[in-house]
Amino acid sequence: MSAVGDQGTLFSPAGPSRPVRHNRRPPRQTTIIVSADAIVAVMTGRTDGPSVIIEAIRAARPDVRAVAVDLGTIRWTDRKKTDRRVSFATPIVVRDALLGLAHGIAPEPFRFVLGRAARVTRAD
């Protein structure tokens, strides 16, 4: 005499209270690392601050193209998502580093995370 209801039994777990969605993916995050060598390249005049950030993004996400960085946004075109243009708010650590580099102040090597895009549009 084994009755199985919503609560289950001693040897079998209860059934799910809501449908399980297996198609859900966690939001994609990208961690970008700006190395000491990249900062030295800016300080010695071999490149500029935004270019260092762009190269760090390309190292972390080789599948993107047309990367642009400024104090307000970080943007790129994502080939995997049917050529969508993706925009992120520039993290504070990146803004501080860009402003410091522009004034000749070398930041420590740092990393930042880009989470969900602030805006996704069709690429022209």
Check residue 94 and give its pLDDT. Answer: 96
39-98 per-position pLDDT tens digit: 999 999 999 999 999 999 999 999 899 999 999 999 999 877 667 888 999 999 999 999
- DSSP per position, 103-124: TTPPPPPEEEEE-S-SEEEE--
Check residue 25 and give its pLDDT. Answer: 47
Give pTM, 2 decimals: 0.73
Q: How many residues does the chain have?
A: 124
Percent with pLDDT over 90 in the chain: 59
Mean pLDDT of the chain: 82
